[in-house]
Amino acid sequence: MSPNDGTVAGTGEFRLIEAVTAGRKQPETTLLGPGDDAAVVATPDGRTVATTDVLVQGVHFRLDWSSAEQVGRKAVAVNLTDIAAMGARPTSVLMGFACPSDTPTSLVTELTQGMWLEADRAGIGIVGGDMVRADQIVISVTALGDLGGREPVTRSGARPGDVVAVCGRLGWAAAGLAVLGRGFRSPVSVVNAQRCPEPDYEAGIRAADGGATSMIDVSDGLLSDLGHIAEASGVGIDVRTADLDVSSRLTEVGTALGADPLKWVLTGGEDHAFAATFPAFADLPEGWTEIGVVTMPDSGVTVDGKRYGHDSGWQHWR
């Protein structure tokens, strides 16, 4: 391929790295940014929170459904909610990226632009990465975070009698996925929710400061992710559907598609809302809503007191 054909092969690995790193302003916590064998990031707390999530073309995103910028934003967002769900504040992300030789260079720069937009929302920088050839686009983001002196809020601290609460929208991304899957592009509100969540990264810290006993971000589906808390904590969880926010927008889309909006709220992934448990009678932090209760040891996740008879959320390889 010729050097100027607009593809990553024409641009070449090192000029591609230059294209995605040049001129980017790093926050103060980045002591040494991209360009050396590794970056150096300040960890004021002395402990580092670390997480990684991989996004694969065709599995996590489609470029005829989302712009490269939206995919980049999502790749960062889904990692930063894992940091926030520990009660930590993100400090930096790293971007692993693989794509075919004929990928337009502009796609990579737009994707990087989206990643920086989301990183900026959290006040952090992209401090490193890797660029390699593959048969399809794969994005692997690693996020680091800082606990600021707090104890991590794990999945294992829920106790019977705690209240279950959520912060953020549920079911919107699943509704958007259903719309896109039927070949439609509107309503844009739910379609955009599928393309990229807009998490409140402070919600996890508010929960930690408000005494949350366990927490998780909802990536696979509310029931599935509450199931991780129930299992790790050795408790049951009962969700009250009357307390869930099934927005009129979801009801409209459900009616149009012949789908059940409550199912999207209970089992739809990718909204990256937060779910947590709090001691009974605690004042819930701003933005958090009670949706259920922690029940007897090892009784699983129930909905209005009954076992849910369908899939509880997304699973790869199913």
- Residues at the contact surface with ligand ADP, assessed by CB under 6 A: 53, 82, 219
Beta-carbon contacts of 63 under 8 Å, excluding residues fewer than 6 positions away, are 57, 71, 107, 137
Look at residue 270 and give the partner it binds from ligand ADP, Mg ion, ligand TPP, none, a contact being a CB closer than 5 to 8 Å depending on partner kind.
Answer: ligand TPP
* 61 is a contact residue toward ligand TPP (CB under 6 A): yes
Q: How far is the CB of 264 from ligand TPP (least distance, A)?
A: 11
* 271 is a contact residue toward Mg ion (CB under 5 A): no
Q: How far is the CB of 175 from ligand ADP (least distance, A)?
A: 20
Q: Please provide residue 14's backbone torsions phi and psi, each rounded to the nearest 5 degrees.
A: -75, -35
Q: What is the distance between the alpha carbons of residues 295 and 302, in angstroms, rounded to a whole number? A: 10
| Omega prior to 187 cis, within 30 of 0 | yes
Q: Which is nearer to ligand ADP, 26 or 224 (CB)?
A: 224
Look at residue 62 and give the partner it binds from ligand ADP, Mg ion, ligand TPP, none, a contact being a CB closer than 5 to 8 Å depending on partner kind.
Answer: ligand TPP
CB 83 within 8 A of CB 202: no
- Residues marked as binding for Mg(2+)? 37, 51-53, 82, 130, 217, 220
Q: Which is nearer to ligand TPP, 76 or 163 (CB)?
A: 76
Pick from 26, 103, 105, 219 the residue near ligand TPP by CB under 6 A: 219
* 53 is a contact residue toward Mg ion (CB under 5 A): yes
* 53 is a contact residue toward ligand TPP (CB under 6 A): yes
- Residues marked as binding? 37, 51-53, 60, 82, 129-130, 155, 217, 219-220, 270, 314
CB 222 within 8 A of CB 166: yes
Burial of residue 24 (number of CB atoms within 10 Å: 0-12, 13-18, 19+): middle
CB 71 within 8 A of CB 111: yes
* 182 is a contact residue toward ligand TPP (CB under 6 A): no
Binding region for Mg ion (CB under 5 A) out of 50-58, 86-94, 127-135, 253-261? 50-58
Beta-carbon contacts of 128 under 8 Å, excluding residues fewer than 6 positions away, are 33, 34, 38, 39, 94, 95
Counting Cα atoms < 13 Å in the Cβ hemisphere of 304 gives: 7
Look at residue 183 and give the partner it binds from Mg ion, ligand TPP, ligand ADP, none, a contact being a CB closer than 5 to 8 Å depending on partner kind.
Answer: none
